[in-house]
Amino acid sequence: MSTLKSRYDVHWLTGQFCEYRTESMYRRIIKTRARFESCLSLILASLVFGMFAITDYQLLGFTKEYYLLVAMRIVVVSLCILLAFIIGRWGNYFRRIWLHALPLWIFATGIILIVPLRPDSLATQVTAVVVATMAFFLLIPNLLTVVTFASLYLSIGFLAAAVLFADISPVVTLRLALLLVMTNIVGFCALLRLENLQRKQFGLLQKERSQNHHLLKEIALRKDLEAQLRMVAERDALTGLNSRSHFMKRAKALLQRSRLEKKPFSLFMIDVDHFKNINDTWGHTHGDWVLTKIAEACMQSLRPTDVIGRFGGEEFMVALPDTGPDNAQIVAERLKKKVAELPLKEGMSEMRLSVTIGIALANSEEADLDSLITRADQSLYVGKRDGRNRVVMCREGREDGGS
């Protein structure tokens, strides 16, 4: 938070950000608006400056001074309109700030040059200088430092021209100097306040944006964590199959749906035969590898609508919706065969991999999944007892053993 604060601190005298990078970013962001405002102000100021040729004529008539003044006004207006065009196209407020400052110096020179050509109308010109100074500070979008130098040049130049060409007394000179000092101070303070407020507003906006950005990152992180937690809860870490709890949830939903739709439903309980021997002979790493291969075989042999889960240890469960006794028997036999044909790791060739599958078929009286599991487990027990490597189906109290 403290770094953010210092990053957006505004200098009390220049009205700019203390940190160069922040100031550059600010100018880059406002460059389009600043460019447009510069162009518009320059065109308007040029028009006003040119229109004063009418009052020149009223005061001077068609004299040499009048022609000189008109020529000077044409030069100033042309230069400023040309600059407005250049600023419109290439006036990068970020890098070419001098391009935005140049018109101010041209206008100031034009205003100063009026004094020797029209020394009699000094009172009107003083008003024009005061208005021009305020316009420099407030209307033409520029940096405080740039405007201050241009405005000081106008004030000092005008005062010097008034002393040299309008022959004013020391008292009037002092009054004029004080008036110009006051005008500059007021303009400076007003623009300083404006620049300060604009930058503070910008700083607040940036802080808010960065907080929003952090918040979005945090939300994404949390979502990621949630997904990971869900994954841990729903998936078995070794095989990637459904975890026991998630299998139960999904299988219950499938069973309920089958009941509602009055469709058959089967449940397999698969147990790897003599798995302890595998672990004892080739070690747990090989045992784990065998379990993943059996999981893969299950996924490959079954339909995407069937739900497979690891029930624990070397036991797997499969919920098969829309599957009656005949199909269940066929699928289980196919799965048993697939497991028996699984290519094994080097050195395990003498091993005969097999599974025993207990099948339970849902019937209308059955209340829940647990009793179906109990029946599948009973079938499995029968299969193990009768020599393993077989499929046993529990049908209303009696078991049908397969080979």
Ligand X SMILES: Nc1nc2c(ncn2[C@@H]2O[C@H](COP(=O)(O)OP(=O)(O)OP(=O)(O)O)[C@@H](O)[C@H]2O)c(=O)[nH]1
Quickly list DSSP for 314-332: TEEEEEEET--HHHHHHHH
| Binding positions for ligand X, 241-280, rule CB under 6 A | 271-276, 279
Nearer to ligand X, 195 or 314 (CB): 314
Q: Give whichever of 271 and 306 is closer to ligand X, judged by the CB atom.
A: 271
Q: Which stretch binds ligand X (CB under 6 A): 83-91, 256-264, 283-291, 364-372?
A: 283-291
363, two tokens: 């019937």
3-state secondary structure of 273: coil
- 238 touches ligand X by CB under 6 A: yes
CA distance 137 to 149: 11
For 229, the enclosing helix (H) or strand (E) is: helix 170-234
Other C-beta atoms lying within 10 Å of the C-beta of residue 124? 14
Instruction: Give the amino acid at 381.
Output: Y
CB 4 within 8 A of CB 204: no
**124 versus 354: smaller Cβ distance to ligand X:** 354
Binding flags for ligand X, 329-348, as an x/- string (CB under 6 A): --------------------
Question: Tokens 């140049």 belong to which residue?
Answer: 102
CB-nearer residue toward ligand X: 39 or 353:
353
Residue 95: DSSP 8-state:
T
Cβ-proximal residue to ligand X, closest one = 287
Write down how long the chain is. Answer: 403
* Residue 287 binds ligand X (CB under 6 A): yes
Q: How far is the CB of 386 from ligand X (least distance, A)?
A: 12
Complex with ligand X: residue 26 or 316, whichever CB lies closer: 316
Our CB check for ligand X shows the closer of 292 and 371 to be 292
> Within positions 369 to 398, which residues make up the interface with ligand X, using CB under 6 A?
384, 388
CB count, 10 Å around CB of 371? Answer: 13
The answer to whether 216 contacts ligand X (rule: CB under 6 A) is no
Q: Does 316 bind ligand X (CB under 6 A)?
A: no
Q: Within 10 A of 122 (CB to CB), how many other CB atoms are there?
A: 20
Task: Please state the closest distance from residue 232 (CB atom) to ligand X, in A.
Answer: 16
Number of residues that bind ligand X (CB under 6 A): 16
**Separation between Cα atoms, residue 105 and residue 68, nearest integer Å:** 19
Q: Site residues (CB under 6 A) for ligand X? A: 238, 271-276, 279, 284, 287-288, 291, 313-314, 384, 388
